Amino acid sequence: MAGSGSAYERLKQQAGDITNMRWLPIQPEKRLNAFLNLADIHLLPQREDAADLVMPSKPTGMLASGRPVIATARPGIQVARVVEEAGLVVEPGCLPCIVSAIRRLGDDEPGRRRLGTAARKYAVDVLERERVLRGFENQLHDAPSPEPARRLE
């Protein structure tokens, strides 16, 4: 577990003496790719009341790592739609659901590989930088021209 967010200390205390966890400070950006590739499974917890406001940036690196993602999200929102094919989506705030999803993927190596492959494919096919920029340029090109400003007299 790496980070320095507001929940870091609380989570560390709750983990107690769990021996198969490591607690690290937030990692430098130059190590992000290698760090994300260490995971077997990525967890993307989202607050239910904020989950459909914006698509968070974290899934991009998670998906690009070629590892499955477990996200907490309501069905139909963008995070859920993206993760459905590359991992598991569980109810926000449902700790037993998260634990069950972790156990399910933890016990299913072929399933992790299949979902990880789908995650990587999505990242390359949809989130690749040049593809995103071309899509944005196309949207700008296709947008209707604004009406010329009128003089007020």
Query: What's the predicted TM-score (pTM) here?
Result: 0.76
Q: Rounded to the nearest 5 degrees, what angle is found at the Cα of 11, between the Cα atoms of 105 and 59?
A: 50
Report the pLDDT value the prediction gives residue 110, as an integer from 0 to 100: 96
Q: What counts of helices (H) and strands (E) characterise the chain?
A: 7, 3
**Is residue 152 one of the residues assigned to a domain?**
no
Report the distance separating Cα 89 and Cα 39, nearest Å: 18
**Is residue 61 one of the residues assigned to a domain?**
yes
Same-domain check for residues 26 and 83: no
Same-domain check for residues 85 and 96: yes
**Is residue 122 one of the residues assigned to a domain?**
yes
Same-domain check for residues 54 and 11: no
Report the pLDDT value the prediction gives residue 36, as an integer from 0 to 100: 87
Q: Mention every residue, 6+ apart, whose C-beta is less than 8 A from residue 51.
A: 72, 73, 74, 77, 79, 92
Q: What is the pLDDT along the chain (153 residues), one digit of tens a residue?
A: 878 778 888 888 888 888 888 888 888 889 888 888 888 999 988 877 665 555 567 788 899 999 999 999 988 888 898 899 899 999 998 989 999 999 999 999 999 999 999 999 999 988 776 776 676 676 777 777 777 767 776
What CATH number did the domain enclosing 45 receive?
3.40.50.2000
Report the pLDDT value the prediction gives residue 53, as an integer from 0 to 100: 53
